[in-house]
């Protein structure tokens, strides 16, 4: 499995608090069948994003696990005015493995209308925005039509693995399950911060998705699509969202959904 959203790099944000914690997270990942991890420190008002330091921390951790785990860098990119200005000058510093996919995080307290245009501008610049953990954002949960609008616009959605197990509460779990059934999920990632309260585990979620939605879907969301983003390729699995389902967000009323596969 490939984890495209993880706070494994030490002492950069609220993730791993030491190199030892980073190593423990890496061992947990390897034991659980993860082969690639993207270290994605926050870039927001609380944490300064320093690419040189991030590369250094990644190199140190990669050196410890060479041949056992592949590590790359990205960013948990907060949609702030400052970040949107910075990314115009050097997008690669923020993107997954310095390719063309970008994790995008919205604030819990406000998502102003201009953000729709900001996402479009990122796309015009050749980037593929991935909306991170929308099921955990109360504003997006209460206005799911905005998420569906972004997806129809060409963005993607990433759900936190532990949301499917109730870690983030019943509302987040229900939305994660509804949106997966609706074809509105393209990635599942750990968003791990440590080995205790927010561990680096994906295997149990892979097994759950396989049981409830089939091996094909589990592999697409935890292996094939993440690897495509890691390598900067088009996604192989892009579920088609039915218009009626997008409007109602009601699985029973909207009927089924049809998957669309794009070639590599």
Residue 144, Cβ neighbours under 10 Å: how many? 20
Q: What is the pLDDT of residue 256?
A: 36
The SS3 of residue 56 is helix
Tens of pLDDT along 131-189? 999 999 999 999 999 999 999 999 999 999 999 999 999 999 999 999 999 999 999 99
242 is a domain residue: no
263 is a domain residue: no
111 is a domain residue: yes
Could you list the residue range(s) of the whole structural domain that residue 129 is in? 2-232
94 is a domain residue: yes
158 is a domain residue: yes
Total domains in the chain come to 1
Question: Average pLDDT for residues 1-20, to the nearest whole number?
Answer: 98
pTM: 0.91
The CATH number that applies at residue 225 is 3.20.20.140
27 is a domain residue: yes
Q: What is the pLDDT of residue 241?
A: 83
Question: Average pLDDT for residues 89-106, to the nearest whole number?
Answer: 97
21 is a domain residue: yes
240 is a domain residue: no
Q: Is the pLDDT of residue 248 over 60?
A: no
d(CA 26, CA 28): 5
What is the helix, strand, coil percentage profile of the chain, to 5?
A: 45, 15, 35
DSSP string, 179-238: HHHTT---EEE--B-SSSSS----HHHHHHHHHHH-HHHHHIIIIIHHHHHHHT---SEE
DSSP string, 130-180: EEE-GGG-HHHHH-HHHHHHHHHHT-EEEEEGGGGGTTT-HHHHHHHHHHH
């Amino acid at each position: 499995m490939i984890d495209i959203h993880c706070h494994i790099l030490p002492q950069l944000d609220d993730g791993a608090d030491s190199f030892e914690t980073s190593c423990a997270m890496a061992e947990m990942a390897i034991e659980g069948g993860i082969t690639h991890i993207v270290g994605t420190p926050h870039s927001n008002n609380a944490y300064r994003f320093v690419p040189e330091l991030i590369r250094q921390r990644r190199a140190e951790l990669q050196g410890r696990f060479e041949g056992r785990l592949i590590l790359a860098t990205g960013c948990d990119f907060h949609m702030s005015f400052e970040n949107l200005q910075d990314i115009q000058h050097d997008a690669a510093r923020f993107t997954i493995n310095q390719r063309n996919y970008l994790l995008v995080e919205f604030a819990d307290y406000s998502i102003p209308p201009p953000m729709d245009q900001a996402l479009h501008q990122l796309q015009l610049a050749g980037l593929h925005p991935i909306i991170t953990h929308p099921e955990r954002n109360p504003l997006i949960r209460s206005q799911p039509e905005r998420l569906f609008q972004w997806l129809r616009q060409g963005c993607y959605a990433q759900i936190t693995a532990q949301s499917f197990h109730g870690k983030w509460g019943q509302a987040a779990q229900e939305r994660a399950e509804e949106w997966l059934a609706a074809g509105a999920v393209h990635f599942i990632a750990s968003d791990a911060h440590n080995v205790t309260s927010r561990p680096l585990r994906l295997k149990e979620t892979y097994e759950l998705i396989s049981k409830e939605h089939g091996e094909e879907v589990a592999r697409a969301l935890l292996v094939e699509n993440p690897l495509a983003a890691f390598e900067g390729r088009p996604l192989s699995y892009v579920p088609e969202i039915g218009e009626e389902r997008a409007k109602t967000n009601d699985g029973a009323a909207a009927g089924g959904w049809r998957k669309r596969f794009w070639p590599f």
